[in-house]
Amino acid sequence: MMLETEAEALDEADPLAAKRDEFDLDPEIAYFDGNSLGAPPRHVAERLAGAVREQWAGRLIRSWSEGWWELPERVGGRIAPLVGAAPGQVVVGDSTSVNLFKALVAAVRLNPGRDEILLDGDTFPTDGYIAGEVARLTGHTLRRVRTGDLPSALSERTAVVLLNHVDYVTGRLHDMAALTAVAHEAGALVLWDLCHSVGAIPIELDVLDVDLAVGCTYKFLNGGPGSPAFVYVATRLLGGFEQPLAGWAGHADPFAMGADYRADPGISRARAGTPDILSMLALDAALDVWDGVSRVAVREKGLALGEFFLRCVDELLPGTRVLTPRDPARGHQISLADDAARQTMDALIARGVIGDFRPPNVLRFGLAPLYTRYEEVLRAVTTLAKVR
């Protein structure tokens, strides 16, 4: 009963409570997978339908010169404040995997004479796959290291380090300031994967002197399934950012149709092919929910949701092994070990509590501060106690 009373009080006092009304969520569902696919803001469907009707059907090809072509830069400009970037350093387009490939190849080209790429040893799989192919194509050696071992692993051979801001399995938050600084001391560049932190954790790319970053938009930014990713290139590196997918959209004068490639002088040089307009328009609409939202308030609620989740686990599921750090060095998820994790998550989903499973034995519960309620946290843990 005390947990129920506390959940009610926390929900009543929540400064972000009104934001939940802006999302199209089934009231019978407790959704804890926003760290994989964010919930849709209510207005997105109408805005997208209007774009199809008015821009695609109404204006047809004229829409390219009426805002479509510049959409990657404009939407990138809306994401820039969420990652602590000044204008002109973020562009939207392609997938995270494609942007990783572009940024990683550009990074080794920016740092010649060094033949090694260091990779976060617990990285999200696609980062490892892409890094492996970049190493093979460029003749670099790829070496996996634990983030805690990075200072001793760095050397004069290291061209770039690819790191995840938040560990996708455990939810551990890595120290961007310290790891960026130690890499720079060794003369290496740093490429950060922000997929599990953007829209959840205040990020200060410019302040921390980050070189490059990529991130997806379908998790905490709620851009929709497969919504286009983004890439950040620090202004000081733009002039030398030579990415390998020299497509027409990154050309300095794409409609001149010249035979030779000449990269755009700004962030547009990170573009490749024709942008996916409908997905980008949906993302543009989804970003409206961030208008007037304090990144600090989002972080504070995310941590508070995690604290309450852990208290519920401790009281209702004593002895459960918690994989997520209990201190603030965590993202907005709680991961629990469960020997029958797949079956347990299936049972939770059947009862209206939607989280996800990561092999071999991890239950993940994403905490999206814009729409997750404390009452739902209690419901999730109570239901988990019943099905285990």
Contact 170, 327 (CB under 8 A): no
Q: What percent of the chain has pLDDT over 90?
A: 99
Active site residues: 124, 193, 218-219, 364
Question: What are the tens digits of pLDDT across the range 146-176?
Answer: 999 999 999 999 999 999 999 999 999 999 9
The three-point CA angle 321-201-130 to 5° equals: 80
Contact 163, 147 (CB under 8 A): yes
pLDDT number for residue 249: 97
Question: What are the tens digits of pLDDT across the range 313-333?
Answer: 999 999 999 999 999 999 999
Class of residue 247 by CB neighbours under 10 A (exposed 0-12, middle 13-18, buried 19+):
middle
Question: Token match 């989903």: residue?
Answer: 349
Q: Where in the chain is the domain with CATH 3.40.640.10?
A: 67-290
Residue 232 β-bridge partners: 90, 213
CATH topology of domain 67-290: Aspartate Aminotransferase; domain 2 (3.40.640)
- The rounded distance, in Å, linking the Cα atoms of 144 and 155 is 14
Here the tokens at position 287 are: 């970003």
The three-point CA angle 376-377-380 to 5° equals: 85
pLDDT at 1 over 90: no
- The rounded distance, in Å, linking the Cα atoms of 330 and 201 is 9
- The rounded distance, in Å, linking the Cα atoms of 165 and 243 is 23
pLDDT number for residue 239: 96
Mean pLDDT of 277-302: 97
Identity of the amino acid at 317: L
pLDDT number for residue 365: 98
Q: What percent of the chain has pLDDT over 70?
A: 100
Mean pLDDT of 277-294: 97
At 24, give phi and psi (nearest 5°): -90, 90
Contact 184, 190 (CB under 8 A): yes
Contact 19, 373 (CB under 8 A): no
Contact 314, 378 (CB under 8 A): no
pLDDT number for residue 130: 98
Mean pLDDT of 27-53: 97
Question: What are the tens digits of pLDDT across the range 235-276?
Answer: 999 999 999 999 999 999 999 999 999 999 999 999 999 999
* CA separation, residue 109 to residues 116, 244, 270, 303, 326 (Å): 12, 10, 14, 39, 40
Contact 17, 201 (CB under 8 A): no
pLDDT at 117 over 70: yes
* CA separation, residue 178 to residues 153, 160, 208, 210 (Å): 15, 15, 9, 11
Q: Where in the chain is the domain with CATH 3.90.1150.10?
A: 2-42+293-387
CATH code of the region 2-42+293-387:
3.90.1150.10
